[in-house]
Amino acid sequence: MKLSKVEAGRIAREYGLGAVKSLKPFSGGWVNYNYQLESEKGNFVVRVLGLIKGYTEKALKEEFRVLSYLHEKSFPYGIPYPLKNNNGEYLSRVGKKTLWVYPKIEGRQIKYYNTKNLKSVIRALATYHKYVKDIKVNIDRGFDSPKKLLIRYKLMKKEKPNSPRNKIMLENLGLFEKCLNKIKDVDFRIKELPVHYDFHKGNLLFKNDEVSGILDFERMLYAPRVLDLAYLIKTTYEDGKKRFMKKANLIINEYEKINPLTDKEKSLILLMLAKDNCRMFEVFYRLSGGNYLKAGAEAELSCLKWTIDVQKNVARELGWKK
């Protein structure tokens, strides 16, 4: 997936960026690779994609539609809004690579949350929701499928405790079955919009302690906005009876200063977190057994343990004993 200088020149011509001055790789994910392309017209990010077909292509088009809408509405945070090439299209093919380009967003990433930068993150999320509340996108990713998930749990129960991964899963499967049975008939369909679904410090840029940019909308889906709140609670959680709800209440209260929630929505936040953890418990278990990349499998196992820790806190607060 490496870009050459010749390819960088072709990309610059296709997107009208002028002469290329430099090309530097960013650290990439498992399937996407990013490069900073500096040209005579400024700094840009070239995002080289993995396999694009079927559902992935449809989801990407919806992502571009939302990003373009935010740009047109002068959204107050930097976003990776896609540029169109000479053919009026967002995606380009360079050799065997599919890619898109956006102006680089200024800012830096942070390693740790503090009260000030966390409040800025919450305000940014609340503002994003206000801007996209009237947009409907056709992306659901099979989000609401608890009955299918219970079937997969039954298959997981048949595994043998012959590895640390399987032992962890089997020791905690009962908790997740109980949680899933508690929420499987709950109607979460309220205030749906294009949720970011990956809103945390790793996908944000900062100037001092204030959010300056929001990145990586690729997990976007059409779902209740409380899913984003639940996810932010998960990614900032602190273990413990007092600490967990203190952080959750901070997020909810700060969000409401910008974008009020209904009583119904507030009652659904922990239930939504429980539901999402049930799904991710199965996902991280499955991926942690992958052999495509040892480092990737180890990271997924770490995420499996994290999801278990969070679910224990959620179950305690909801009064669901293991």
Domain ranges (residues) in the chain:
5-67+80-103, 115-318
What is the CA angle 24-30-32, rounded to 5?
Answer: 50
Cross-strand bridge partners of residue 224: 192
**Residue written as token pair 């840009």:** 44
The one-letter amino acid code at 249 reads N
How many whole angstroms separate alpha carbon 177 and alpha carbon 118? 32
What CATH superfamily is the domain 115-318?
Aminoglycoside phosphotransferase (APH), C-terminal lobe (3.90.1200.10)
> What distance in Å separates the CA atoms of residue 157 and residue 140, rounded to the nearest whole number?
27
User: CA nearest 193: which of 228, 217, 218?
Assistant: 228
> Helix (H, G, I), strand (E, B), or coil: what is residue 145?
coil
For residues 23-61, one letter each, b for 16 or more C-beta atoms within 10 angstroms of the residue's C-beta and e for the rest, the string is: beeeeeeeeebbbebbbeeeebbbbbbeeeeeeeeebbe
Res 146: pLDDT: 86
Q: What is the pLDDT along the chain (322 residues), one digit of tens a residue?
A: 688 999 999 999 999 999 999 999 986 554 458 999 999 999 999 999 876 766 688 889 999 999 999 999 999 999 999 999 999 999 999 988 899 999 999 999 999 999 999 999 999 999 999 999 999 998 876 666 888 899 999 999 999 999 999 999 999 999 999 999 999 999 999 999 999 999 999 999 999 999 999 999 999 999 999 999 999 999 999 998 899 999 999 999 999 999 999 999 999 999 999 999 999 999 999 988 865 445 567 888 999 999 999 999 999 999 997 5
Which CATH number applies to 5-67+80-103? Answer: 3.30.200.20
129: CB partners within 8 A, 6+ apart? 193, 225, 228, 259
